[in-house]
Amino acid sequence: MENLKGVRVAILVDNGFERVELTEPRKALEEAGAETKIVSPQEKEVRAWETKQWGGQYPVEQRLDEAKPDNFDALLLPGGVMNPDHLRMNPKAVSLVKAFFDAGKPVAAICHGPWTLIEADAAKGRKITSWPSLKTDLKNAGADWADKEVIVDQNLVSSRKPDDIPAFNREMIKLFAEKAGKSRAA
């Protein structure tokens, strides 16, 4: 297990994120020593989606309006259909995602999470995977889309679906340790 001690990870979500795509990667990050914060445009709580119905609510630990990219070393973008659809229409969310890419910080996106990458102009020229319904959107944005369990391209790791979470977590932790760990040591 890679050491992420001192690495601060923003988990950007809005209502309708797929619960397991937040909880399982978060658990893996924290077990590796990372500090995580749920960042959201919602005031106090953000609501999860549980496969085909609403799931539990999770406390917002950092309001999107107050989130500063300099306060984080890495970014996690869970999927779910509603969540990234809301985020990609929110200029502050798009700006936050773009700031991570502009700074060369590592980003992990799963399922529908890459939708927000398109709006942040971060998909072009990258190898990427996602939920299959995003294939055309990502290709139209200039990405090289592939149907693979996990893809790492520079500072981005992406996966397709909840079944890919073990591989996603493994590669996310490796990438965050390599990229975010170096920036923390510098």
Q: What is the pLDDT of residues 102-113, one digit of tens each?
A: 999 999 999 999
The helix, strand and coil proportions of the chain, stated in percent and rounded to the nearest 5, come to 40, 25, 35
86 is catalytic: no
The angle at the Cα of 10, spanning 105 to 25, to the nearest 5 degrees, equals 100
**DSSP one-letter code for 133:** G
Q: What is the pLDDT of residues 162-175, one digit of tens each?
A: 999 999 999 999 99
Name residue 8's beta-bridge partners.
35
**DSSP one-letter code for 56:** E
75 three-state secondary structure: strand
**What is the pTM assigned to this prediction?**
0.96
Q: Comparing 116 with 51, which gets the higher pLDDT?
A: 116
Under the banding of pLDDT at 50, 70 and 90, the label for residue 145 is very high
Q: What is the pLDDT of residues 130-139, one digit of tens each?
A: 999 999 999 9
From 47, 112, 126, 179, active-site residue: 112
